[in-house]
A and B are shown apart, each in its own frame.
Chain A
């Protein structure tokens, strides 16, 4: 199980949509201090994040699932 793509470069202000295409529940959570989270997303559910700065995230339910998004400059 992984975030795909697990590394992404976007423009500042872009919205990134996370879609759970797996058969189990996942979430998207800020990695360092868990400052934000999507909360659990069941199969087929999606969640949007507006990117204003670089972010490192993980799935708090499967802590080895990780990804990052960087702002192009």
Chain B
């Protein structure tokens, strides 16, 4: 019985993640992540954007795209450092979970798309994904991670990251305009 219940919960969570972009409110009804799991999701979400930035640094020749990618790598690394320092202070070991796994599976698909895109299409493919990814992460942090977090300091860290995510989104949208209609 217990197994089945857990399975359903995980499924609901994944469904919520998928719906979150359209309906952030739905995610607030899933009390299923422990703080070590929230910390893990946060670290993975940051690592994913760094991995996209690394592909861009290899493949792009566009100055605005390269600068954006550099900023993404630096900022998301800074957030990971903060999260790691806090986890250590709190004695929390980030714990792998279904949400992290889903994020990584999706990221792997995106990585393949980015690697496979033609040199000409790369910049637009990368920046379009950055816009979509930051929107999804903002929805997930607001709608899932912050409400799920028990520890006040971890919650505060997540809240402190929000302005950076919002700025990254606006920055990505600005660069995206360059590629409009291409």
A45 to chain B, nearest CB (A): 14
What is the interface of chain B mostly: helix, strand, loop, or mixed? Answer: helix
A25 touches B170 (CB 8 A): no
A24 touches B67 (CB 8 A): no
Closest A residue by C-beta to B175: A63
List residues 53-80 of chain B with CB under 8 A from any CB of chain A.
67, 70-71, 74-75, 78-79
What is the interface of chain A mostly: helix, strand, loop, or mixed? Answer: loop
A64 touches B167 (CB 8 A): yes
How many residues of A are counted as interface, with CB atoms below 8 angstroms from the partner's CB atoms?
12
A25 touches B164 (CB 8 A): no
B160 touches A23 (CB 8 A): yes
In the complex the two chains form, what is the Cα distance from A45 to B168 in whole Å?
22
In the complex the two chains form, what is the Cα distance from A61 to B82 in whole Å?
20
B152 to chain A, nearest CB (A): 17
Within 8 Å of chain B (Cβ to Cβ): is A60?
yes
In the complex the two chains form, what is the Cα distance from A25 to B164 in whole Å?
11
Which residues does chain B contribute within 8 Å of A24, judged by CB atoms? Answer: 74-75, 78-79, 164
A63/B174 contact (C-beta < 8 A), A1-B163, A23-B160 known: yes
Within 8 Å of chain B (Cβ to Cβ): is A62?
yes
Closest B residue by C-beta to A64: B170
Within 8 Å of chain B (Cβ to Cβ): is A69?
no
B78 touches A1 (CB 8 A): no
B160 touches A1 (CB 8 A): no
Within 8 Å of chain B (Cβ to Cβ): is A65?
yes
B141 to chain A, nearest CB (A): 15
Within 8 Å of chain A (Cβ to Cβ): is B155?
no
Can you spell out 14 A-B residue pairs with CB atoms less than 8 angstroms apart? A1-B163, A1-B166, A2-B163, A23-B78, A23-B160, A24-B74, A24-B79, A24-B164, A25-B74, A61-B70, A62-B171, A63-B67, A64-B171, A64-B174
- List residues of A whose CB falls within 8 A of some B CB: 1-2, 22-25, 60-65
- List residues of B whose CB falls within 8 A of some A CB: 67, 70-71, 74-75, 78-79, 82, 160, 163-164, 166-168, 170-171, 174
